[in-house]
Amino acid sequence: MPLLLNRLLAPALLVLPLLMLPLLAPAGTARAQGLNAQRFSAAQRQEIIAIVRDALRRDPTLLRDALAALETEEQQGREGQVRAAIAARAAALFRDAADPVRGNPAGAITLVEFFDARCPYCKRMIPALNELVRRNPDVRVVLKDMPILGANSTLASRALLAAQRQGKYHEYHDAVLSLREEPTEPVLQREAEQLGLNWITMLRDMADPAVQRRLDATLALARELGVEGTPAFIIGDRLVPGAVDLAGLEALVAAARAPVR
């Protein structure tokens, strides 16, 4: 190796994972742009690549460390984007008067759940969420109907929002999400009538374009936040994907209560 290049690259070998990142990362990333700014010649780049290959051959864990560093950087970037999106859409997330709220409507801590009525993991969340608000009187849970699992999911969400107009959203929500069968129209009618809901009125309200606009708005909001499936939770400036047990929910609430340092 030429002496000058050896001197240039010796410090880099001590931080080889960082040197590798620009070679692994997309060309437009900040780290890649930083390396390009040094304007290595083609010959120097080839020698760097040869050094990297030799180092990887001698110690394959360097690749693992480099990829882990890249993943951490990308994760931090995604989290920053989510925080910004939550802040920008806080009113729609936390303060939409049309959304059903479980627990204390004036609670100081708000947990938002995006759910699909057919999602098996959403179904499993009902006992945990009910116990959460029972044990934490300062918590309000905002429910966002997000039908993403097909036509019956959309039908169930329409029925839920129609039941809300008759003042029985929560009872109907728990009944529908407790089903072990598909929420077809006859099944939804049966569950509604068992709760004393007027099915004829519900059918009319389910067909109201305003109901579909609400569902469309929720789906658009979820996309903006990077919500990719159900259930998904928003608390404070955090997006928490997937089902969470009661202990996990209470940990999220406790973190939200903690003063910002």
Q: What confidence category does residue 80 fall into, taking pLDDT thresholds of 50, 70 and 90?
A: confident
Domain limits, the chain: 3-88, 91-257
Higher pLDDT, 80 or 196: 196
Q: What confidence category does residue 82 fall into, taking pLDDT thresholds of 50, 70 and 90?
A: confident
Please state whether beta strands 139-145 and 101-103 pair in parallel, antiparallel, or not at all (unpaired). antiparallel
- For the cut 90, the answer to whether the pLDDT of residue 5 exceeds it is no
- For the cut 90, the answer to whether the pLDDT of residue 18 exceeds it is no
Per-residue model confidence (pLDDT) at position 107: 95
Helix (H) or strand (E) holding 192: helix 185-194
The residue-averaged pLDDT of 169-195 equals 97
- For the cut 90, the answer to whether the pLDDT of residue 50 exceeds it is no
The phi and psi torsions of 231 (rounded to 5 degrees) equal -75, 160
How far is the C-alpha of 195 from the C-alpha of 98, rounded, in Å? 22
Could you tell me which of 71, 147, 67, 139 has the C-alpha nearest to residue 103? 139
Name the burial class of residue 179, with classes exposed (0-12), middle (13-18) and buried (19+) by CB atoms within 10 angstroms of its CB. Answer: middle
The phi and psi torsions of 226 (rounded to 5 degrees) equal 80, 20
- For the cut 70, the answer to whether the pLDDT of residue 37 exceeds it is no
Architecture field, domain 91-257: 3-Layer(aba) Sandwich (3.40)
- For the cut 70, the answer to whether the pLDDT of residue 34 exceeds it is no
Q: What confidence category does residue 78 fall into, taking pLDDT thresholds of 50, 70 and 90?
A: low
